[in-house]
Amino acid sequence: MALEVADELALLQLQPSVHFSTRTPERFLDAADRVIKEGYGYTSVFNTDTVIMEQVGMGKTLEDARQGGTSGCIETGCFGKEAYILTGYLNIAKILEITLNNGIEPLSNEMVGIETGDPLAFSGFEELYAAFQAQLEYIVDLKIKVNNYIERMYAAYCPAPLLSCVIEGCIDKGKDYYNAGPKYNTNYIQCCGIGTVTDSLLPAIDGKPNTKGTVYRLNMLSTTCHVYFGKMLGATPQRQVGPHAGIRWHLALPRRG
């Protein structure tokens, strides 16, 4: 019925989402396919079996995982039982650019990272990779420190009493939604530039402690801020495919002066 309404109204907002599993009937998939093919807006499609396995892998019970799902853009959680806090965006491609400039942010010419060496003097990819990883670890740790401070401020000065009343765990614990009240407390840092920099992200974010006694998770979500982040970058690796040229790769060199 929801798909029929979406098809009839032809609205760009709000978009429906389709959640399927191995038990989803073909007639439902066919109906979703008809709406998606119309071309107005888009219908998000999610694999419920995968979402459930992800949540169970994060320590949630199977029952709670089955009652949860995907909401917002692509965030997964246990509805009514979890605070899954998205603590801002992280421009991974910018970190690569800073690495290529030995810790200096080229737009402001300020040292914002750590000195990891002149990449023109590196003997090979291994040294560049190690420098990028060191820069990534440094900036992620700095971001987490700032995030944790903001979270403490939210818990102290920006409580959400109405929301806390409808989220399981808050009343039993006597704690607010923003103060580790819910049954599950998950923090995400949203990484942008995955297509530009695909090297070693999970060792830097996943598992770092947050302020609620649990840990940060990696969230690969580039929407909303990809245009702005791109404006803050110089040239980055780009793959060009042509009928005669084959595949060519271009890598930005460190800026001088």
DSSP 184: E
Identify residue 17 by its one-letter amino acid code: S
Site of tokens 């798909």:
3
DSSP per residue over 10-78, as a string? --SSSPPEEEE-TT--HHHHHHHHHHHTT-SS--EEEEHHHHHHHHHHTT--HHHHHH-EEETTTEEE-
The residues carrying an active-site annotation are 73, 75
Terminal alpha carbon distance of the chain: 62
C-beta neighbour count of 187 within 10 angstroms: 24
Site of tokens 């040294």:
127
Specify whether the CB–CB gap between 223 and 122 falls below 8 A.
no
